[in-house]
Structure 1
Amino acid sequence: MPAPERSNRAYRNVARVVRPVLLACTLRDWRGAEHLPKDTGFIATANHMSNIDPLTFAHFLYDNGFAPKVLAKASLFSVPIVGRVLRASGQIPVDRDTAAAGRSLDAAIVAIEAGECVAVFPEGTLTREPDLWPMAGKTGVARLALSTRAPVIPCAQWGPQNLLGRYKKLFKPIPRKKVTIVAGPPVDLSDLYDRPQDTAVLREATERVMAAITTLLEEIRGETAPAERFVWRRPKPGGPA
Structure 2
Amino acid sequence: MTDGSDEHQEAAVDGRPSETPDPRPRRGFWFGLVVALVKPFLLVFTKPEFTGRENLPRSGGVVFTPNHLSHFDPLVLGFFIWECRRIPRFLGKASVFKIPVVGRIISSAGQIPVYRDSSQAADAFRDAVAAVERGECVGVYPEGTITRDPELWPMTGKTGAARIALMTGCPVIPIANWGAQEIFASYTGKLRIRLLPRKTLKVRAGRPVDLSAFEGKPITNQLLHEATEVIMRAIAETLGELRGEDPPKELFDPRKAREAP
Q: Say yes or no: TM over 0.5.
A: yes
SS at match of 1:233: helix
Partner of 1:225: 247
Bigger Cα Rg: 2
Partner of 2:33: 13
Superposed CA deviations along residues 172-228 of structure 1, whole A, max 9, x for unmatched, are: 111111111111111011221221221110101111111001001111111222222
Which of 225, 233, 236 lines up with 1:211 in the alignment?
A: 233
Partner of 1:41: 61
Identity of aligned residues (%): 44
Q: 1: distance between equivalents of 2:200 and 2:223?
A: 37
Stretches of structure 2 lacking an aligned partner (at least 5 in a row): 1-5, 8-22
2-11 or 108-117, which deviates more:
2-11
Partner of 2:208: 186
Partner of 1:127: 147
Which of 71, 86, 95 lines up with 1:75 in the alignment?
A: 95
TM-score normalised to the size of structure 1? Answer: 0.92
Asked if structure 1 preserves the Cα contact closer than 8 Å seen for 2:50 and 2:203, the reply is: yes
SS at match of 2:92: strand
Q: 2: distance between equivalents of 1:235 and 1:99?
A: 29
Give the deviation of 1:69 after TM superposition.
Answer: 0.5
What are the within-5 Å matches in structure 2 for residues 1-241 of structure 1? 1-2=6-7, 4-98=24-118, 100-167=120-187, 168-233=190-255
Q: 2: distance between equivalents of 1:195 and 1:169?
A: 46
Letter in 2 for 1:90: G
Asked if structure 2 preserves the Cα contact closer than 8 Å seen for 1:6 and 1:66, the reply is: no
Asked if structure 1 preserves the Cα contact closer than 8 Å seen for 2:58 and 2:84, the reply is: no
Structure with higher RCO (Cα < 8 A, 6+ apart): 1
Structure 2 CA distance for partners of 1:229 and 1:97, relative to 1, 3 Å: farther
Count of residue pairs the alignment pairs up:
236
Q: 2: distance between equivalents of 1:154 and 1:192?
A: 17
TM-score normalised to the size of structure 2? Answer: 0.85
Stretches of structure 1 lacking an aligned partner (at least 5 in a row): 237-241
Asked if structure 2 preserves the Cα contact closer than 8 Å seen for 1:4 and 1:67, the reply is: no
Give the deviation of 1:91 after TM superposition.
Answer: 0.3
Structure 2 CA distance for partners of 1:175 and 1:139, relative to 1, 3 Å: same
SS at match of 1:85: helix
